[in-house]
Amino acid sequence: MTVPTPPDGKQPGDRTPDDHNPWSPPPPGPPPARWEPYPMAPIPASQARNGMGITALVLGIVGIVLGLLIILFWMSWLPALLAVIFGFVGLSHARTGRATNKGMALTGVILGGVGLLAAAGGGIFTVTVVKKVTDSARSKVKEVKASASASEKARHLSFGESYTFEDGLKVTVTKPEPFTPDDYVLGHAKGNKAVQVTVKVVNTGTERVKVDTGLPEVSDANGASTELVIDGSGRQKVITGYVLPGKEAVGKYAFSLPPDAADRIEVEFSPDAMRWDDAYWSGPTR
């Protein structure tokens, strides 16, 4: 079979000198594929840090409310102080662009400052009120003590002086007089000294008043009690019943003093021992 000769006269197996040159550049290849950039997802913007401003506003409101309540003002200073601190932090975030609620943070600072002022005002007000109440109470105590002291002093008298009780009965105890019991006597030992005490009661009021008492109590200056003398002489008289307005009732009582009794005695008497404190009369027995 005969192979036709190409028009250029070359046989298929023939090579030109360039075909076997090892230093010749390689024939151009196909064009490289076009590279498309990979689409990137959008980077989210940083989230605003508004928490400090919100917290400052809430704490500022709480501080104001507690500061307006007199009984809770002492609790308002802490949230008010925290509102100021968080508010300034929120303002700092707003200045650097990390927060968007500058107005809220500023409001929290203002409310916190007002809350601190309210807490301070409440403290000053409370201290003033407490001091005023304390001073008033002390003044009343002093007045009561002074009144009690004056009343106690007024109820200690000398023989012959008078004391008027609150029911209008004016009582006078005269100076004791020597008393000689008769032969039939109780409460008087041989060697003792007996004295007679006279009690006069005058009704200075407008209504009758009952004398509801026992007997006067007599003691010497050393506090030793004496014994009531009862004899058959009939010279003793006990005040009982009612005393009419403007009228006088007189009681006479004898008491036996031991030989070593002091020369001064004290007589204790009240027209109604259940209602009125006793009055005291004292003085020498001679």
| Residue 121 confidence (pLDDT) above 90 | no
Which pLDDT score, from 0 to 100, does residue 97 have? Answer: 83
Give the H or E element holding residue 127. helix 102-154
Which pLDDT score, from 0 to 100, does residue 41 have? Answer: 53
Q: Helices 102-154 and 51-68 meet at what angle, rounded to 10?
A: 20
Most confident segment among 20-29, 199-208, 253-262: 199-208
Q: What percent of the chain has pLDDT over 90?
A: 24
Measured CA to CA, the distance from residue 177 to residue 285 in angstroms comes to 7
Which pLDDT score, from 0 to 100, does residue 9 have? Answer: 53
Nearest to 51 by CA among 87, 76, 81, 78: 87
Full-model pTM: 0.53
Question: Under the phi-then-psi rule, with left for phi > 0, alpha for psi from -120 to 50, and beta for the rest, what region is 250?
Answer: beta
What is the pLDDT averaged over residues 178-187? 88
Which pLDDT score, from 0 to 100, does residue 26 have? Answer: 63
The structure tokens 């506003």 sit at 57
Residue 215 · residue 228 · CB < 8 Å: yes
pLDDT band at 25 (very low <50, low <70, confident <90, very high): low
What is the pLDDT averaged over residues 42-66? 77
Q: What is the pLDDT of residues 196-250, one digit of tens each?
A: 999 999 999 999 999 887 689 998 877 888 889 988 888 889 888 899 999 999 9
Which pLDDT score, from 0 to 100, does residue 4 have? Answer: 56
Which pLDDT score, from 0 to 100, does residue 29 have? Answer: 63
Q: What percent of the chain has pLDDT over 70?
A: 81
pLDDT band at 20 (very low <50, low <70, confident <90, very high): low
Q: What is the pLDDT of residues 26-48, one digit of tens each?
A: 666 666 666 665 565 554 555 66
- Tokens encoding 11: 């046989």
Which pLDDT score, from 0 to 100, does residue 221 have? Answer: 73
CA 226 to chain centre: 51
Domain positions in the chain: 51-138, 157-284
Question: Has domain 157-284 been given CATH number 2.40.110.10?
Answer: no
Measured CA to CA, the distance from residue 18 to residue 27 in angstroms comes to 11
Q: What is the pLDDT of residues 140-164, one digit of tens each?
A: 888 888 777 787 888 999 999 999 9
Nearest to 156 by CA among 285, 267, 261, 254: 267
Which pLDDT score, from 0 to 100, does residue 28 have? Answer: 67
Measured CA to CA, the distance from residue 109 to residue 52 in angstroms comes to 11
- How do strand 156-158 and strand 279-284 relate by DSSP bridges? parallel
Q: For residue 235, give Cα distances in angstroms to 175, 179, 231, 238, 270.
A: 17, 10, 9, 10, 22
Measured CA to CA, the distance from residue 195 to residue 253 in angstroms comes to 8
The structure tokens 């508004």 sit at 50
| Residue 70 confidence (pLDDT) above 70 | no
Measured CA to CA, the distance from residue 33 to residue 115 in angstroms comes to 72
